[in-house]
Amino acid sequence: MNMTIRQFRRAAVGVVCSSMLWGAFAGASAQQGFFTKEDVIKYTPDWQGERFPDGRPKVPDSILDRMKSVTLEEAWAVLQMNGFMHEYEDGWLSIHPDKVLVGRALTATWVPGRPDLQKLLEAQGKEDHRQGAMNAWPVDMLQPRDVYVADHFGLKVNGPSIGDNVGNAIYARSGNGIVYDGAVRDINGLDELPNFVAFVRYYDPSHHYGSLSSGRLLNSTMVSINAPTRIGHATVMPGDVVLGRNGGVIFIPPQLAEKVVKYSESTHLRDTFGHLRLEQKKYTAGQIDARWTPDIEADYRQWLKENEDHLSVPKEQVEEILKEHQ
């Protein structure tokens, strides 16, 4: 059969587009962000410690415990000094705003619903033996002390993919809360979970339409789990340490988590010493607020030695500080 040049071009474009579309989703693990263990390891090469079975960096529990005392300013300072300039976001509606959220990020990303994409990803989910609707897929992967971090592109009306049922499932698996760039529903039920510390954009009584069975109402499709995601002005990687408090959230690369904690503890100790000496009128505000003289530094080291068993910072860290200043 003879074809005109125009017909040939149309046919060729159709074949290429079909191949590209299938190629994009047949290998959905990397291209669409449903990252495998190998993908996660590849994208987090600076972490040299233990990892979860899914490849995410596993910052030690001891560091997470100490992170609860870190302020946003202290974490921000360390990240800025190390070139991580876009890791903070605020403007949240908080659940349990008087508490601190600390944990390891498990990420997910949604986009506005598209039926051809939804069909392919739901089929892929069946092949991967995922259970239930898309909003349950990342929840089933959560580990203790994880924080579910999801970009739902700020969807409000007909946007909530988390209510008290999904919220209880998140809490049962992680014992922790969420950072969710979208809306939640059933906020009274979520508020009953004592440590479900949550930073979300909105509350809305509606629910999202996130499955192919929604038909024309389909309004959101999940396109990634455990891949880089965007939360407002911040980039988040799987395994980042999430620190949420005082209305803001900062995402700390795992390789910097211990450095953030040590910087914070050192700052707390120096502040405690400085305030004490000011109260005692041993030094002036100008002396404490400026670079300390050798005499003040020596006084500080002696104070650490005399009080290392009674300070808020672990004794091991106090001894490490003393060694660094020998």
Q: pLDDT by residue for the chain (326 residues), tens digit each?
A: 444 434 434 444 443 344 443 344 444 344 447 999 999 999 999 999 999 999 999 999 999 999 999 999 999 999 999 999 999 999 999 999 999 999 999 999 999 999 999 999 999 999 999 999 999 999 999 999 999 999 999 999 999 999 999 999 999 999 999 999 999 999 999 999 999 999 999 999 999 999 999 999 999 999 999 999 999 999 999 999 999 999 999 999 999 999 999 999 999 999 999 999 999 999 999 999 999 999 999 999 999 999 988 888 888 888 888 887 66
pTM of the entire structure? 0.86
3-class DSSP state of 144? coil
Distances, alpha carbon 261 to alpha carbons 58, 66, 224, 226, 266, in Å: 16, 6, 30, 25, 9
Closest to 161 (Cα-Cα) out of 139, 191, 189, 193: 139
- In CATH, 29-58+91-252 is 3.50.30.40: yes
Strand partners, 191: none
The SS3 of residue 184 is: strand
Q: What are phi and psi of 93, to 5 degrees?
A: -95, 125
The span from the CA of 309 to the CA of 318, in Å, is 9
Q: What distance in Å separates the CA atoms of residue 148 and residue 228, rounded to the nearest whole number?
A: 13
CA dist., res. 146 & res. 105, Å (int): 6
CATH 3.50.30.40 residue spans of the chain: 29-58+91-252
